[in-house]
Each structure stands twice: as C-alpha cells, then as structure tokens.
Amino acid sequence: MERTENNNNSNRLSDGLIRQNIVLMSGIAIAPVAVVATNFMNALALTSGFTVIAFLSVFACYFIPRKLSYTIRVIIYALIAGASVIPAYLMVGYFYGGEMLETLGVYLPILAVNPLILTKTETRFRLRKPHLMLLELSGYVTGFNVICMGVGIIRDILTNRQIGSLPVDLGFEIPAVNATFGGLIMVGILGGIFRWQYNQAKLRKIAKLEKEIEMQKLLENL
Amino acid sequence: MMEFISTFISASLIALFLQNAIYERALGINILLYASRKKKDVIGFALGLTYITTISSALVWVSDRFFWDFEYYNLIIPVLYILIVSIIYVVSLLVVWRYFPKLYWQIKKFVHLTVFNCSVLGALFLNRQIGESFFSYIGYGMGTALGFFLAGSLLYIAYERLNSELVPKAFRGMPIMLIYVGVISMALHAFVGYA
C-alpha cells in the first residue's frame, strides 16, 4: 500500500519533470530560456524568479472559488500572477543586483502569463488536494529549472568558456548560441534529444515488462 | 498629421521586422507553435492579437503618461498592464456575446490564450522603447501582432513538411518547428545587419 503511494508520488513528480516538461515536451515556457538563459548566473536568476512566481501564484489561485465563471477566474489568475511578480522582482534585485533585473528585462514579468499558471492551474492543480498540488507543481517547476540551468550552463561553456566563474575550456567558442536564434535552435535540438531518450526509455520499460510476463508464463508452465 | 502617420508606420515596421516578437524576442512562441497547425487559427490568433495589442497599447500610453514618475511604477506595471488587458477582454467579450452570439461560442474556447500571452504583455512592456508618442505606442502594438502573423504564416507554410516522415520521429512537432523558427530568425538577424 505504502509502496503504491510512493510510486504514485514519484509519478506525480516525474510528470512535470519529464513527461510534461514545460520547456522540452509541451513547450509552454520557451521564450525566457531561449533568450535570457545565456549564462549560468542569468539562468540562476531566472529560475529563482520563476520559482517564486509559480509557487505564489498557483498556491493563491488554488483558493479562487469555482463558482466564478471561467472568464473571471482567468482574469483573477493573471492578476494574482502579476502581483506575484513583485516579490520575485524584489528577490532577484536583492540577491543578483539591479543589473540582473535589466538583463532579465521583460522576461521576468511575462512569466506571469505563463500557461502553467493560467491553464494548468485550471485543468490540473485545482483538481488535486493541496499537498498533491504542491508536489505536482514542484515537478513542473523543477523541470523548468533543470532545463533552464542546463541551457545556461551549455551557453556559458560555449561562449565564455566557463560555468559561473569556473573555467571550462573546450578549445573553441560558439558566440552565436547567445543570440535568440541560437537559443531557439538549441532548445529545439535539446527537445528532440530529450524526446528520443524518453521514447527509448519507454521502449526499454515495455520490453522489460514483456520479458517479465514471459518469464512468469514459463514458470507457471513448469 | 504626416508626422503622426510616419511615426505610426515606422513604429509598426520596427515591430514587424527589426524587433519581430517571434524572431527577435521569442515572445508568444508557444502560441505560435499551437496556432500554426491551421490557416484559420493563424488568422484568428493574429486578428485577436492585433485587436488586443493595438487597443491596450493606447490605454498603456495613458497609464504611462500619468504614472511613469511614480517611484514604484516598475513594480506595479505587470498588474496594471494585466488589468488593462483584462478590462478590454471583458468589455470585448460582452460586446461579442451581445451582438455576435455565434462568434462568441466559436472563440470562447481559445480567446483567453490570445489575450493573456507573452506577446501581448511583451509588446506593452516594449512600447516605450520606440518613443513616447501615442502613435508610436499603437504602431508598435499593431506591428507586434503583424509580426506574429508573418511568423505564423511562414510556419504554417512549412508545417506539413516539418511534420512529415522526412524528419526523425523524435524531432517532429515542437523541436523541428523551433529549429525552423531559429533558422529564419538567424536569416532575419543577418538581413537586419546585427552580425
């Protein structure tokens, strides 16, 4: 019983982290990653901001009564998310400085109109109990954060030959990956590789299950 | 009068080519990937965006004019702009519901995607970069939506080929479409002369 519950919980977490990753699988938060995550520090600041906005807004939106019509609910969700940009803005300014806020530019406030908050809250998070909602949301947020950090680190290595302040010299540079088109192409390639790996893992799992069933049948026959 | 028209046109052209929301800033790319599957959706979303960004740019101009000197304006901008967009959204929906009930039921499902997305909010945030005049605001707002239409049309044209058997299975859909948008963005970059 306990094991099944643990499995369910890990499924809920991995759903947002892998199966429905909001950057590489469903593609609903591509812009900030493609444009702003150009180095380790930018990616770190962006993930911090996103974590604050997502948790505050989804948690607050969870308590909006269902009696209100969907049209009104969407507006309230957007306004709550807009308000949750304020603590995120202050936090990024405090920890990373005013220059970082300028670097992030419009990409921090536009996270407020992210479909994760406006759509998934309605179709998914609201339907769960509070602790399960937080668990699933953690999966989605971690999924975004991992990919954003990954993209930031790859770009930092390819353009600045470092990760943060740690030198990593590959012997060549590709400065164009810092441009918007570089980000789009990189996220596209990573998306393809991620899906390919996911499909391979799924096929391996199916093959393993089939083998287990065959073994069981063989044992029964014996 | 000619000055106002030229301001409007130049702001529109900047938003359409130099600072295209999709190719230059990747704003609204998730909506683009969704809308580019059908010609009807590209046109529908572009029309919706044009309406929302143009009208809200006008209201944002008024708000910027009055509150720009307010010390904490930066902090309240997201809420204020979302409020402006929401007011236009509700009023427009009421008008459509009252006078065009058939259209209301057709657009009801996805109209909120057109209104609350990053290309609308992004356009409103970037309006002031071009200039402080009313006509530059609405020109930039309209140009952003036209830029979305341009990007959507180019993606729609290639949609079938991008999702054909020529492309490896794992790359079909979002990954190859992003790479395609990236390649066009690179071409536009070179055309504009950033390189």
- Interface touch B118/A31, C-beta < 8 Å: yes
Please indicate if any CB of chain A lies within 8 Å of the CB of B27. yes
Does the residue B127 lie in any domain? yes
* A166 bridge partner residues: A163
- Which of the residues B18, B20, B29, B80 would you substitute to probe the A interface, choosing the one with the greatest number of A C-beta atoms within 10 Å? B29
Give the model's pLDDT for residue A5.
62
B131 pLDDT above the threshold of 80: no
* A162 bridge partner residues: A167
Name the band, by pLDDT with cuts 50, 70 and 90, for residue A71. Answer: confident
Which residues 28-87 in chain B show a CB within 8 A of chain A? 28-30, 33, 74-79, 81-83, 85-86
Give the model's pLDDT for residue A122.
87
Does the residue B182 lie in any domain? no
A116 pLDDT above the threshold of 80: yes
CB contacts < 8 A (A, B) = 148
What is the crossing angle of helices B134-162 and B2-13, to 10°?
30
Q: Which residue of A has its CA nearest to B31?
A: A28
Structural domain range at position B56: 27-158
Bridge-based pairing of strands A166-167 and A162-163 is antiparallel
Which residues 129-158 in chain B show a CB within 8 A of chain A? none
Q: Is the torsion defined by CA of A168, A171, A177, A178 positive or negative?
A: positive
Does the residue B179 lie in any domain? no
Q: Residues B54-71: what's their mean pLDDT?
A: 90
Vertex A114: Cα angle to A54 and A147 (nearest 5): 70
Closest by Cβ to B170, choosing from A113, A176, A195:
A195
CA–CA distance, A134 with B44 (Å, rounded to integer):
36
Name the band, by pLDDT with cuts 50, 70 and 90, for residue A99. Answer: very high
**Token digits of residue A45:** 């600041």
Does the residue B142 lie in any domain? yes
Name the band, by pLDDT with cuts 50, 70 and 90, for residue B127. Answer: confident
Q: Residues A109-136: what's their mean pLDDT?
A: 90
Closest CA to A87 of A109, A102, A71: A109
- Which of the residues B20, B22, B24, B82 would you substitute to probe the A interface, choosing the one with the greatest number of A C-beta atoms within 10 Å? B82
State the alpha helices, DSSP H only, in chain B: 2-13, 29-35, 39-67, 73-99, 101-107, 111-115, 118-130, 134-162, 174-192
State the alpha helices, DSSP H only, in chain A: 2-14, 30-35, 40-61, 70-96, 98-104, 115-118, 120-123, 130-160, 180-221
Question: What domain count does chain B have?
Answer: 1
On chain B, the residues whose CB falls within 8 A of the CB of A81 are: 82
Q: Are A147 and A24 in contact (CB under 8 A)?
A: yes
In this prediction, what percent of chain A has a pLDDT beyond 90?
74
Domain ranges of chain A: 2-221
CA–CA distance, A73 with A52 (Å, rounded to integer):
21
Does the residue B16 lie in any domain? no
pTM of the model: 0.91
**Strand, coil or helix: B121:** helix
**Strand, coil or helix: A166:** strand
Which residues 132-151 in chain A show a CB within 8 A of chain B? none
Which residues 20-39 in chain A show a CB within 8 A of chain B? 25-31, 34-35
Does the residue B75 lie in any domain? yes
**Token digits of residue A89:** 């803005």
Task: Please provide residue B19's backbone torsions phi and psi, each rounded to the nearest 5 degrees.
Answer: -125, 45
